[in-house]
Amino acid sequence: MTDVATDRLVLRAYAPEDEDNFTGLLGDPVVTRWMGVPARPLREVFRSVVAAEPAWDIWAIWADGRYVGHGELKPSPDPHVDGHELVYALVPDAWGRGLGTEIAEGITKHGLETLGLDAVHATVAPENEASLRLLRRLGYVDAGSWVDDDGDETLWLVRRG
């Protein structure tokens, strides 16, 4: 897996000492309000990420030596999306500083330029207006929507290379 650097951030592979950061972030219901969270215990998920070479890019995100978030670029698990999907999350005290935009742009650029993907996809709840604005500012365009089995609507956006 390749590290990614932006102006203010370093995205690098998770290390064993990152476990509390990972579980704290993805265990925070404020952070994961709009995200799917694994059914398995988060510590178990983390240990599987660190123990084996993941099948996709998954990063711990750092700013000024401090853990500020999580990012992924993975084959989409959603049957509606044929391609790689962007996933990102920030610790709440890092919100509102443009870091989400920097993460999304860095991962998107990595997918399109470094990996040579034709497109990077994102799935977003329609109520998650902040992420929708962020992605559209970065050139993502609406590609469709669907209603999940639980009745929730999901919007699908794409940015092509």
Write down the domain spans for the chain.
4-160
Distance CA 85, CA 111 (A): 10
Kindly report the pTM of this predicted structure.
0.90
Give Cα 47 distance to the centre of its chain: 19
* Comparison of pLDDT for 51 and 33, the residue scoring more: 33
What is the structure's pLDDT at 49? 82
Distance CA 114, CA 95 (A): 27
Distance CA 101, CA 65 (A): 19
| pLDDT greater than 80 at residue 36 | no
Pairing relation of β-strands 57-63 and 10-13? Answer: antiparallel
For domain 4-160, give the fold: Aminopeptidase (3.40.630)
Check: CB of residue 106 under 8 Å from CB of residue 9.
yes
What is the structure's pLDDT at 28? 94
Reduced to 3 states (helix: H, G, I; strand: E, B; else coil), residue 150 is coil
Distance CA 83, CA 158 (A): 10
- pLDDT above 90 covers what percent of the chain? 69
What is the structure's pLDDT at 55? 67
Reduced to 3 states (helix: H, G, I; strand: E, B; else coil), residue 107 is helix
Q: φ and ψ at 155, to 5 degrees?
A: -100, 145
